[in-house]
A and B are shown apart, each in its own frame.
Chain A
């Protein structure tokens, strides 16, 4: 065995030991496979509120619809106006969102509404959504915030 190996090494000149490389690549692959979470299209990236000692809990709500309130990026940076969208949909006016919500409530009466609003938005813009929900007889308000990482 040893003889053969030596003979082979001398014949090929330089040899490449792939074993440590494969080890490391496997390790990295497994790491990224475990770490990566595929965010859903409904959760549009935005700056969410970060309260101190957050009471927000990670909960799976089975029948839920997400209303995203983002800062309108088309306007100059000083003016904070919200654009509303239902889940991954295109931005719509609040009236259209209300109509969609009413239609969805007809199909599934136990529908829960989750509001994801940008932390920089003025309260008035989110208050409009809260009023709209109250007008649609939705009595539970679920707001998304970052969870406490100190735990």
Chain B
């Protein structure tokens, strides 16, 4: 069996494989000695992936929200005595059947603005008239069924017109 040519060639192949493995091991150990310190990246990449996936999943892109502040009339009667000025009454009425349609009117004024941006301009015009200024109280009277969005938009329009005293009426 040992003398057969086939076996000798396979034995040679075996030897050469062993030699190659040894050489590889040697080069690897030499490598280790050469670079002295190596860094194991695997745990770091694991952690980074974990953080990345966490933030990917938890992040929600939201619009920032802010606060509109105003005074409410209280039941003590403190605020009712000090209003000798005639207020500007802004009425926002719902146009029937359509929830989003609205009609703006101002008591004692002809102007009928169609948008809340136009309402700001109308209020600024009124403030420029004699007897009115931004201290003149503004009372918002809105329909009970009007969407809250329009009420806030109306309130915001009065704030855009720099009105200092805004109240809600019935």
Interface residues of A (CB under 8 A from B): 1, 4, 7-8, 11, 18, 21-22, 25-26, 28-29, 32-33, 35-39, 43, 48-59, 61, 114, 116-127, 130, 133-135, 137-147, 149
- Does more than half of chain A's interface fall in helix, strand or loop, or is it mixed? mixed
In which size bucket is the chain B interface?
35 or more
Which residues in window 142-170 of B have CB below 8 A to A? 142-149, 151-153, 155-157, 159-160, 168
A52: B residues at CB distance < 8 A:
115-117, 153, 156
CA distance A114 to B51 in the complex (A): 34
Which residues in window 51-74 of B have CB below 8 A to A? 51-52, 55-56, 58-74
CB pair A56–B67 under 8 Å, yes or no, is yes
CB nearest to A60 among chain B residues: B67
CB pair A147–B65 under 8 Å, yes or no, is yes
B72 interface neighbour in A56, A119, A134, A145, Cβ under 8 Å: A134
CB contact under 8 A between A145 and B68, given known A18-B41, A122-B147, A130-B168: yes
Write the nearest CB–CB distance from A126 to chain B, whole angstroms. Answer: 5
A1: B residues at CB distance < 8 A:
34
B66: A residues at CB distance < 8 A:
54, 56-59, 144-147
A49 interface neighbour in B56, B62, B75, B148, Cβ under 8 Å: B148
Please tell me if B14 contacts chain A, counting CB pairs below 8 Å: no
Closest 6 CB pairs of A and B: A56-B66, A32-B55, A119-B149, A51-B156, A49-B152, A124-B144
CB contact under 8 A between A126 and B151, given known A29-B52, A35-B59: yes
